[in-house]
Amino acid sequence: MDSETLTDNATPDPEPEEDATRAEIAREYLLQQRIHMILWNLIEGLSRFVKIFEQVIERPKFVDVETPQARFVFENPNPHILQVLMCVRVASGLRACMILLNEAHTTEVGVLFRTIDDFLADINFVDELIEKSRENVTEAQRQFVDNYFIDDARTIEERLEDVGKRRGINHNARRQKVQASEARLIGFDNPDRIKKITATVDDAFSGVVHGDYASSMEMYGGNPPHFHTRGMPVRYDGYRHHVGIYVHRALNMFCGVAHKLGLGDLAHEIRELRREFEKSPAYTYLRDANGEQPQSG
């Protein structure tokens, strides 16, 4: 076979534009992989911090052994323990967000965002009680801690029988008190505005929790249009970005909890970790619908 035949049958070289497109796709893929690993590592870090918190609080006791009511309880509950328990839920919730996000179940990630909002707000709500002591905070804050640790020894069957008989915390009333506390702490000269903003965010994610019209219709689309019950890859970027925002909020709260537990070195480590995270694409990078990056730095 001569060189002329080889030349005639050879695959033509790709156009420069095709090379540029392939290179851009490769860069984007590697960037998304890097962002994914950054978030996973940070969330694993939150779990590690929880293990350290666990070492400096009272150890739960296993009670009512060999009965249907067997369970672990804290014999001497306090606000520090409540904050640690909320950190447990935050770390677990964010890990669940990443697992769901891997399958592009973005709407269900929104459900978890709403619960994580509550956990972070509860940590903040109890802060004043720790800083000012029980005598110098609102009655709502004292009752919140007392009601939270009510030991409900009922079995699942007993709880089903007692439907309608409220025990422990009235969650709607609690959330209103928490919002008022948030407004007082960070609202400065305009606490009403902060309270309205907080309530608006809560309402948005509450709609996702309760399957409102907007969140249900968010799951419709494609070609041909249909309801997507196996994930919505097209919404991945936006929700992944929000996971980064929630991780940042968690790092802030965990830093405060570590400080209040007397873990100064750990608080410093978490603070530095947060600062490094703020410089990373996992915190700053978000593409719009056209693939552009409206945020940088």
pLDDT in tens, 203-254: 677 889 989 999 999 999 999 999 999 999 999 988 999 999 999 999 999 9
**Band of residue 163 on the pLDDT scale cut at 50, 70, 90:** low
DSSP secondary structure of 11-43:
PPPPPHHHHHHHHHHHHHHHHHHHHHHHHHHHH
> Does residue 1 lie within any of the structural domains?
no
Q: Is the dihedral of CA 247, 253, 257, 259 positive or negative?
A: positive
- Runs of H (alpha helix) within 149-190: 156-161, 171-186
Residue 241's SS3 state is helix
> Does residue 58 lie within any of the structural domains?
yes
Q: What's the pLDDT tens digit per position in 28-56?
A: 889 989 999 999 999 999 999 999 999 99
> Does residue 289 lie within any of the structural domains?
no
Phi, psi of 50 (to 5 degrees): -60, -40
> Does residue 235 lie within any of the structural domains?
yes
Residue 152's SS3 state is coil
Q: What percent of the chain has pLDDT over 90?
A: 54
Residue 111 to residues 143, 152, 208, 212, 221, Cα–Cα distance (Å): 27, 26, 6, 12, 20
Residue 192 to residues 31, 174, 198, Cα–Cα distance (Å): 41, 18, 10
pLDDT score for 82:
96
Tokens linked to 10: 């050879």
pLDDT score for 165:
61
How far is the C-alpha of 291 from the C-alpha of 270, rounded, in Å?
33
Q: What percent of the chain has pLDDT over 70?
A: 76
Domain that holds residue 192: 22-284
Task: Give the global pTM.
Answer: 0.81
* Contact yes or no for 54/260 (Cβ under 8 A): no
> Does residue 296 lie within any of the structural domains?
no
> Does residue 199 lie within any of the structural domains?
yes
Q: What's the pLDDT tens digit per position in 87-144?
A: 999 999 999 999 999 999 999 999 999 999 999 999 998 988 888 888 878 888 888 8
> Does residue 213 lie within any of the structural domains?
yes
Number of domains comprising the chain: 1
Taking alpha carbons only, the member of 243, 186, 182, 198 closest to residue 46 is 243
Q: Which residue has the tokens 């839920």?
A: 89
> Does residue 273 lie within any of the structural domains?
yes
